[in-house]
Structure 1
C-alpha cells in the first residue's frame, strides 16, 4: 500500500456523492412504498422479481445470491422467512446433493404481480419522469458498462 490515494476531484466527488444520495434516497423511498402498500420488503420484491425473470420461476440458491449480491447466510435466512410466508419453496437439486433451488410459489407470483404496478408507477414518479430520453440512454450505457466491469472482476 505504498501507492498514494487517487483522491477525487471536486467534479468526481460531486458526481459520486450525488449518485450515492440518489441511490440511498430512491431505494429508501421505494422500499417504504413497497412495505406500506404491499406489505413486502424490498428484499422480498428483489427475490420475487428475479424468480419471475427465469424459466419455471426457479433458480439455484448460489446463482440467486450472486445476482442479489447477498452472502450465503443472508440468503439462507431470508429465503427461510419467505418460505414461511408461502412466497417461495426450497427444492433440493437432484443432480447435486449440496445444491438447492429457490422456487416461486403461486402466492409469491400473486404478491409480486399485485405489488408491481404501484412499484412501476413510483419508479416513474420518483425517477423516470425527471430525466430526458437521452439522459436515460446515457444512464443505461454507464450502468451496463460498470456492471460488466464488476461482473468481470468477480469472474
Structure 2
C-alpha cells in the first residue's frame, strides 16, 4: 500500500457513497422518466434538445458531439438509429462537401415538444425543489469545482461518455 494515500474518513466515505449512488441512479431515473413519458431515451432527448436550440433545428454532427461531449463515432451510431426512427435526417452541408448536417424532422420536433414538459418537471422536482436557494448555489459551486479539478487532471471529456 502507498503510505501517501489520503484515505477517506467515515464521513467522507458517507458523502462519497451518497454522491456515487446519485450519479449512477439519476441518469437511469431520468431515462426511465423520458421513456415512460415520450418514448425517447436520455441520449436521444439530448440530441433533439441541442437541435431544437440551433438555428432551424440544424447542426453539424461534429458540433453536436462537441456540445454534448460525446465521441463522434458513438454519436454517429445514435444518429443512424434516430434517423431510422424518423427523428432526424442527414443533409448535405453546403459549406463542406465531406461533412453533413443533422436536421430535426417534424417527428423530431413533435417528440421534443412532447418530452420537454415532463423532463423539465423531472429536473425541477428532483434537482431544484428539494433544495433551498443556498443549497442550489452550493451545488453549483461544488459541481463546478469538481468539473474543473477533473479538467485540470486532463480526465474530463469524451473519454468514456457514450451516446
The reply to whether TM is greater than 0.5 is yes
Q: Distance in 1 between matches of 2:52 and 2:147?
A: 21
Q: Distance in 2 between matches of 1:9 and 1:40?
A: 39
Over the aligned positions, Cα root-mean-square deviation in angstroms equals 2.5
* Alignment match, 1:87: 87
* Residues 2-27 of structure 1 deviation map (CA, whole Å, 9 limit, x = unaligned): x9875453355444433221122121
Task: Tell me the matched-pair count.
Answer: 153
Q: Unmatched 5+ residue regions in structure 1?
A: none
Question: Which one has a larger percent helix, Structure 1 or Structure 2?
Answer: 1
Measured at CA, do residues 148 and 87 of structure 1 come closer, stay the same or move farther in structure 2, by a change above 3 Å? farther
Measured at CA, do residues 9 and 105 of structure 1 come closer, stay the same or move farther in structure 2, by a change above 3 Å? same
TM-score (norm 2): 0.78
SS of 2:79's equivalent in the other structure is helix
Q: Distance in 2 between matches of 1:43 and 1:104?
A: 15
TM-score (norm 1): 0.82
* Alignment match, 1:126: 126
* Residues 90-145 of structure 1 deviation map (CA, whole Å, 9 limit, x = unaligned): 12222222222112122111111111111111222223221111111222233345
Q: Distance in 2 between matches of 1:146 and 1:56?
A: 35
SS of 1:127's equivalent in the other structure is helix
Q: Unmatched 5+ residue regions in structure 2?
A: 158-163
Measured at CA, do residues 22 and 61 of structure 1 come closer, stay the same or move farther in structure 2, by a change above 3 Å? same
Q: Distance in 2 between matches of 1:36 and 1:130?
A: 23
